[in-house]
Structure 1
Amino acid sequence: MLTRQPLVVEVLRGHVVESVHQVMVAVVSEAGHLLHGWGNTNYATYPRSAIKMLQALPLIESGAADKFELKDEWLALACASHRGEPKHLEALSAWAHKIGVAESALACGPHLPYNEAAAHEFIRHNKKPTAFCNNCAGKHLALISTCLHLGEDYHGYEKHDHAAQKRLRNILTETMKVDHGKIPEGIDGCGIQTYAVPLQAIAIGMSTFINQHTNERRKQAAQRLTRVVTSNPFYIAGSDDFATSVIQKTQGRAIIKGGAEGVFAGFLPDKKVAFALKVADGAGRAAQFAASQVLLHLGGMNLDEGKALSKFTQPHITNWKGDMVGTLRIAKPQ
């Protein structure tokens, strides 16, 4: 299905539509051909954290993961937006110790854990968040690990002209089929570059993980990351998170990753399709709901799995007492 009309997520309170969010979606085949589209599939946007699996490819392809004998949960953290739970922080600390760097080497700024219970623990004990608490800490350790393996000075690895960033531009250019040296860029929340690309290009990039016709090194790296994410979904995000829950419930038949400002991307290994979506106004709850509906539409989740994940697939609006006062839905086309 291809339509210029975006998906429209309506937020109802009672029987009244209180908010409306327009969602653009691109779905591509193993070869990167557009199969389904809603709205402007060439809409240029920053993928943000939705493409961390692509950004983790150099860690595998360079040989750094094998050189340092990195554990699978660490490799999953390289692809993650972790929620700062104790197991996340313990794994990151162990990884840094393994490669011989201090936490201060990470260029990402600290923030409180995204997990509410973990954040409350920090506040209760008057602990200051550190760089490991940053949801992108695994990506940063991956960049540093790769630099160390290749004999590069990792200091300043977040800077535009550092070898680490040139490597990321190259991998994103190769996988998304868009020259990342010639497109607008900004600085992501964790301090490294992010690049504005067409939505369809994000989906094409994610098709790397289902493409059996790429070179052998790329294919093996993609398969390895798919395996570790499937086996370690907790480390992709954390407890009670949408992405973690989908990967767990489907046992890896759907791999998804969210990014800031209403972006989601993912792939379905069995169906041989990849997708990307963007909510025009950046609303996260609309992005999560739209992603769940795209997964159901594409067969990434079956009806039983959808029911088991009803918190995400059929979300309710509640008041502070916990009473249901509204819901979300996909509007019917006009």
Structure 2
Amino acid sequence: MSQAIQVYRGSYLESTHHIHVAVVHASGKLLYAYGDPYRRTFPRSSMKPFQAVPLIETGAAQAYSYSASDISLSCASHSGEVIHRSAVLDILSRAHLEEEDLQCGTHEPRDKESYKQLIREGKELTPVFSNCSGKHSGMLVTALYMGEDIKTYREVTHPVQQRILKVISDVCDIPAEEIELSVDGCGVPVHRLPLYNTALGFARLAQPEEQVSAGRAAALSTIREAMTAHPEMVAGTKRLDTDLMRAFGGRVVAKVGAEGVQCMGITDLGIGIAIKTEDGTARAAGVAAMEVLRQLGVADEAAYEKLKDYAHAPVYNARNEVIGVIEPNFILEPVDE
């Protein structure tokens, strides 16, 4: 099998990346595959829409006046821009919580201007800059609303995490005891399951009716609609998830995950897509995602024109000159089951 993603410097092939893809219908049928569609994978932050389900189902989002934008932020791997940080702080304020209650840790934000401004002001990074602060604020307010310990909300035995485990088990159609657990970058449990089941989860995020209970379907629809209506909160400026959902006008719900994971749901087709780069490289995942959408015939040329730098990603040098390109080199294989 040739390498699916090829990186060119000038006209010369410099590097390659192998990928795995599962394309699944909400009914459970595996439609297309590339590589190993059953590869066990930590979807990482791609699970955030499902981790937000208890926020809706418990009534916590309603109790603390979550807007659709706030719900979108609870699913985010955001860039740490002002709109993201201010929204997290506002959520915490409404719940009478402090930023210090967030247990997501700190890291440099993707939004470099925000980081430079922090340095100019002589301030330290705080948890609100974390790309996971929206998710953690949702977990916090859920624990608070349910009368549970807010200091241990990220532990695997905490009711917050146990509810999330049950949601993933249900939506992705895999017994909870078969979901392997470890620790994510932000300190909460992370779930390892076959790529197929992750894709199935995104198919049901896209079109949950008659696939899960009515109440759960309503929660998934609320989350999907919030993400597609406010894609700027899911990621940020010049980010694939944001630009993809904006270009496709609500037809695609998308969520990136660390270590080369990209997941998408096609709302009108009830199809879920899960992609994993074998070497964990993010630059290959976006190119692969765009090629999968192209091969599935999703949307028109106008949308692809807006996203052309993701489909054939330019390689830049230190002078910001384009000196190469990252291109797809694979064909999805239809699955006859």
Fold shared per TM-score above 0.5: yes
What is the alpha-carbon distance in structure 2 between the residues aligned to residue 326 and residue 238 of structure 1?
25
The 3 A distance-change label for structure 1 pair 7 and 64 is farther
Decide whether the 8 Å contact of 1:200 with 1:276 is kept in 2.
yes
Check whether the contact 1:236–1:244 (CA below 8 A) recurs between aligned residues: yes
- 1:88 aligned residue: 84
> What SS is found at the alignment partner of 1:326?
strand
Deviations 1:149-172 (A, max 9, x none): 222122201111111111111111
Which residue number in structure 2 is paired with residue 149 of structure 1?
A: 145
Paired with 1:299 and 1:201, the residues of 2 have a C-alpha distance of: 23
For 1:61-72, list aligned pairs within 5 A.
61-72=57-68
Cα gap change, 1:124 to 1:223, in 2 (>3 Å): same
CA contact (8 A) 2:104 2:186 kept: yes
1:84 shift after superposition: 0.5
1:219 to 2:217 alignment: yes
Q: Residues 6 and 37 from structure 1, CA distance in 2 versus in 1: closer, same or farther, beyond 3 angstroms?
A: farther
Q: CA deviation at 1:300?
A: 3.2
Report if the CA contact (8 A) 1:22-1:280 is conserved: yes
Q: Distance in 1 between matches of 2:288 and 2:2?
A: 11
Secondary structure of 1:166's aligned partner: helix
Please give the residue correspondences for 1:248-327 in structure 2 after superposition, counting only pairs within 5 Å: 248-327=246-325
Cα displacement (A) at 1:131: 0.8
The AA in structure 1 aligned to 2:222 is: R
**TM-score, length basis structure 2:** 0.94
Tell me whether 22-31 or 290-299 shows the greater mean CA deviation.
290-299
Question: What is the DSSP-based 3-state SS (H/G/I as helix, E as strand, rest coil) of the residue aligned with 1:196?
Answer: strand
User: What is the aligned-residue identity percentage?
Assistant: 31
Alpha-carbon separation, structure 1, partners of 2:147 and 2:31: 43
180-189 or 97-106: which moved more? 180-189
TM-score by length of 1: 0.95
What is the CA distance between 1:332 and its match in structure 2? 5.4
Once residues 223 and 184 of structure 1 are traced to their aligned partners in structure 2, the CA distance between those partners, rounded to angstroms, is 27
- Give matches, 1:1-334, under 5 Å: 8-209=4-205, 210-213=207-210, 214-331=212-329
- Distance, in Å, in 1 between the alignment partners of 2:27 and 2:301 is 28
User: What CA distance in whole angstroms lies between the structure 1 residues aligned with 2:32 and 2:149?
Assistant: 44
Structure 2 gaps, min length 5: 332-337
Distance 1:168 1:211 in 2: 17
Preserved contact between residue 79 and residue 131 of structure 2 (Cα < 8 Å): yes
Residue 116 of structure 2 aligns to a residue whose secondary structure is: helix
SS of equivalent residue, structure 1 residue 265? strand
Query: Structure 2 vs 1, CA of residues 6 and 97 (structure 1 numbering), >3 Å: closer, same or farther?
Result: farther
Give the gaps of 5 or more residues in structure 1: none
CA-based RMSD: 1.5
> What secondary structure does 2:4 align onto?
strand
Task: Give 1:119 deviation, angstroms.
Answer: 1.8
